[in-house]
Structure 1
């Protein structure tokens, strides 16, 4: 019997909400049919109190409703809804989950930081042809680090530091003052230096995920005149190229950053806060090669789902 199904993964992130739809054949073969994204910026204005704000919640609810209009017409659809750092950290998490269930009919699974890092690893391991590397996922309200040796995860951690909260806390959205940048650098260095196993990853190549990483890749691909700026899997930069791009962004105010080819307007105000954790980790482990992957949490969830439900896979 052919039990082909459509698997819908709705990912409520800190900076954007995303939906991916996959068709799974009865032998476990999987193909992506559609993806959608909304820059809902759920973590905007959470502050030290870690309260999801009404405007950000409503933006996210509207994005989820627009996703539902797409997948609700599909036959044999299984919907998995996850939320990451913004909802994970929120004091009003339960109220948000209740509102999503009431307004959209979705049951939200809030991933722990360790689960998010683990799914990042699962999503990357079969896409990257390397044995030893470190995965770094830069989100809106957290970063995940996974040390991989011999293709196996050895250490993983999630830190509540991301593109949106770093940008807001240290005023990196527009023109950057030296004192603010210094304080941001010091804060990140202190937090990342505390990761106990990081020295084991000295000189590891970095496999980077997340919106800030994609923007970094697209800016460089545009500069290098690549015709396709979206197929990023396996694309790589060296340390000098990453630092050069960061310096270019740092020299410009928000208005001028929006004119850089490859950088989405919606990300221009948080790109410095998004790339600063990467710069800090590169410096901490002296990574010479930065590799981009299309894999991540959603791909990790798919891999787990297929392994669990399709025995022949």
Structure 2
């Protein structure tokens, strides 16, 4: 039996999932932990990870270490995505993590991040055709799925934190700021030539911002377990109405919205612009949400390795 520890260091949060895997490849998730660290905060044009963000991240990883250090037969897979991928002080940061915590991160490409997203979704949802949209803090991954196969992928350098910091007020968002952000995102989408192949297909939403969209609507509809968004569906009308509602509120008002974490209230509008514009661009009438993504993809990758080992 193996304890697989998967640590996903993103731009807004760092998450850890621990799964028990037996020799036959059967698994059980036994622990999931999340900390908001805002690693990409104030990176600026120099793309520098800032001391305060690094400090928050190291503190969270130290907490994680106290949990996984107790495990036997553990395998640790730690990956870093957009913030570290883009950071000009990437090597110094990774060295600091290694020296302080004896933890080695692999910085994965946007394409590899998308592949893990695909594996997480395709192994847990009955998706045949659709466009997977993983909106992170500093990047978004788009994956075109046709007949359950991954046909096209792209990682684009925009996310909830970076869009919010570059274009939007943290309190009440102004019309000119919103228009500038939407124009930027539209121009990025227009450069993805294959997106027209996703016209009229359902969208599958991953990432914290998109899952928050589902949680807000589940709370509104009085679902008992509002955080269990896996497989939950919303219409395009619901998506646009939710974004409109949030745009009408200042920061204090957004912090009171049921289903929206206070830690995400200042970046949620920036986080929802990509999926709302995509659904409009593709004339997609429905979005399905997935709780499974990158960490699950790494888990299924490991399970396939175990199953392919000679007995």
Identify whether the pair has TM-score above 0.5, normalized to the shorter chain: yes
Note the alpha carbon deviations across 1:217-246, whole angstroms, 9 max, x for none. Answer: 110000001001121111000000000000
Aligned length: 310
2:87 corresponds to which residue? 90
What's the offset of the Cα at 1:29? Answer: 0.3
1:274 corresponds to which residue? 271
Q: Structure 1 residue aligned with 2:60, among 49, 59, 63?
A: 63
5+ long unaligned stretches in structure 1: none
Which whole-Å CA distance do the structure 2 matches of 1:271 and 1:29 have between them?
A: 36
Paired residues for 1:210-249 under 5 Å: 210-249=207-246
5+ long unaligned stretches in structure 2: none
Paired residues for 1:149-298 under 5 Å: 149-298=146-295
Report the secondary structure of 2:260's partner residue. Answer: coil
Report the secondary structure of 2:12's partner residue. Answer: coil
Note the alpha carbon deviations across 1:270-294, whole angstroms, 9 max, x for none. Answer: 0000000111111111110000011
Which whole-Å CA distance do the structure 2 matches of 1:231 and 1:191 have between them?
A: 31
1:9 corresponds to which residue? 6
What's the offset of the Cα at 1:175? Answer: 0.6
1:139 corresponds to which residue? 136
Paired residues for 1:91-106 under 5 Å: 91-106=88-103
Which whole-Å CA distance do the structure 1 matches of 2:197 and 2:57 have between them?
A: 39
Are the aligned partners of 2:23 and 2:306 in contact in 1 as well (CA < 8 Å)?
no
> What is the root-mean-square deviation of aligned Cα atoms in Å?
1.1
Note the alpha carbon deviations across 1:37-84, whole angstroms, 9 max, x for none. Answer: 110110000112211001001100110000000010111111110000
Note the alpha carbon deviations across 1:109-164, whole angstroms, 9 max, x for none. Answer: 00101101111001101212121111000000000000000000000000010000
Q: TM-score, normalised by structure 1?
A: 0.97
1:54 corresponds to which residue? 51
Are the aligned partners of 1:172 and 1:270 in contact in 2 as well (CA < 8 Å)?
no
Q: TM-score, normalised by structure 2?
A: 0.98
What's the offset of the Cα at 1:312? Answer: 7.3
Which whole-Å CA distance do the structure 1 matches of 2:84 and 2:194 have between them?
A: 27
Which whole-Å CA distance do the structure 2 matches of 1:305 and 1:253 have between them?
A: 44
1:72 corresponds to which residue? 69
